[in-house]
Amino acid sequence: MTDRKSRTAAVPQRRLSRLLHLGGMAADIAGGMAAEGFRQLSRGNVPVPGDLLLTPANAARTAERLSRMRGAAMKVGQMLSMEAGDILPRELTDVLSQLRDNAHVMPMSQLVPVLKTAWGEGWERHFRRFSFTPLASASIGQVHLAETHAGRKLAIKIQYPGIRHSIDSDVDNVATLLRTFRLLPPSLEIGQLLADAKRQLHEEADYQKEATHLTQYRQLVADTPEFTVPEVDLSLSNSEVLAMTYLSGKPIETLAQAPPEVRDSIGRTMLQLLFREMFEFGVVQTDPNFANYLYQEESNRIVLLDFGATRSFPDSRIDQYRTLFRAAAQSDRSGIEGAMREIGYLNAGNTDAQRDALIDMFHLGFEPVRFEGAYDFGDSDLSARLRDLGYQLSIEQGQWQVPPSDTVFLHRKLAGTFLLCARLAARVDIRYLMTRYL
């Protein structure tokens, strides 16, 4: 979530109104294409359809429309930017990536009825103070600060009205829009990704389930002083409102200028947590948005937030990943291939060239795991090399497979944690950290 105090817009609630918003976005894009086409012709240039579509102005229109809609329309853009970003046009990826933390907020006229529905008439009796200006806003809901009569500060996550009922239609309509304007490669099969997006969004929109995840995770890291997790206030929580203790801290990405030892420590701590999640807990908070982490300088602790995307994985799947990590750490291409087939990355329909290209991608992605000593994320261009290889796989091999459904979320967490380390320019001996788990 991110601070969007100055951007206010009512959330469209009915299916028709949300469809009209998407229709308006399509009209905006088409109008932008026409205007750009006339500009190109007036300069004596022959317009190229792809260039007309992916202009900065059209990109801004797309981001603005999805930001106003919120909900699944915004979330599916976020997911595509992370899971298919390597093979989408770069301009579209840039737009979609902006949606990770860019939402409008509800006006008072919409917020107050939501609070009345959640807590009944006279809901104000629960609080000494309630701030109507949200601390943060995102695709599913926004967060407000409140204080109880006992002096306890709470962060209260309030779901946008109508969001839960619009998930399936939003996802389908956004996918249709992307196909209509040919923003997705014809070879990209996103059916399973969209089905996963719907299921995940329904889970994230159930705040009672998130409260359960939050409580479980709080217990899992109770023995780790480097982390602190909010405590749920069950008396004020339900399926559409989640009340929890308010924990303050600096946005973690602002530590990019902190002393090297601080940045290295944070990177090491976050990677250690990732490996514990995968190989010890079997429970992974799969949304690595930077806004979900705060840093408390006084106590040198990291605040962990937002557990709507928490997933549990069976031992069999974790064992398969342990085998894959071990093979990648040893540059064992045969072992990598075997593990990839077990997990489902490879199948009998892959050509030899596609198989080799996919193995190359995995081998490259595990470069930090193979590195002897502290891997310098700040001095690495690994992300760019992976993007280039992914694009090459899509274009030259003529096929891109969306990974098996449950692994998409592991990828998101792994890639996001590596990206955080890169943002902090952290140096971490990952090979050493992983030894106990492999």
Please report how many Cα atoms fall inside a 13 Å half-sphere around the Cα of residue 35, on the Cβ side.
11
- Would you mind telling me the total number of residues written for the chain in this entry? 438
Q: Which residues pair with 285 in a beta bridge?
A: 310
172 is catalytic: no
According to DSSP, residue 282 is labeled S
Rounded Cα gap, residues 299 and 296, in angstroms = 6
Q: Are strands 301-304 and 293-296 parallel, antiparallel or unpaired?
A: antiparallel
Q: How far is CA 119 from CA 127, 224, 236, 240, in A?
A: 12, 35, 8, 11
Closest CA to 36 of 284, 250, 409, 28: 28
Q: Is 240 helix (H, G, I), strand (E, B) or coil?
A: coil
∠ Cα 146 148 150 (to 5°): 150
DSSP β-ladder status, 301-304 and 227-228: parallel
Strands 136-137, 141-148: pairing kind: antiparallel
Cα separation, 391 vs 95, in Å, equals 18
From 86, 233, 287, 306, active-site residue: 287
Distances in Å between the alpha carbon of 220 and those of 97, 133, 283?
31, 33, 9
The alpha carbon of 407 is separated from its chain's Cα centroid by a whole number of angstroms, namely 14
Query: How many helical (H) and strand (E) elements, i.e. helices and strands, does the chain have?
Result: 17, 13
Tokens encoding 345 = 């990355």
Known catalytic residues? 287
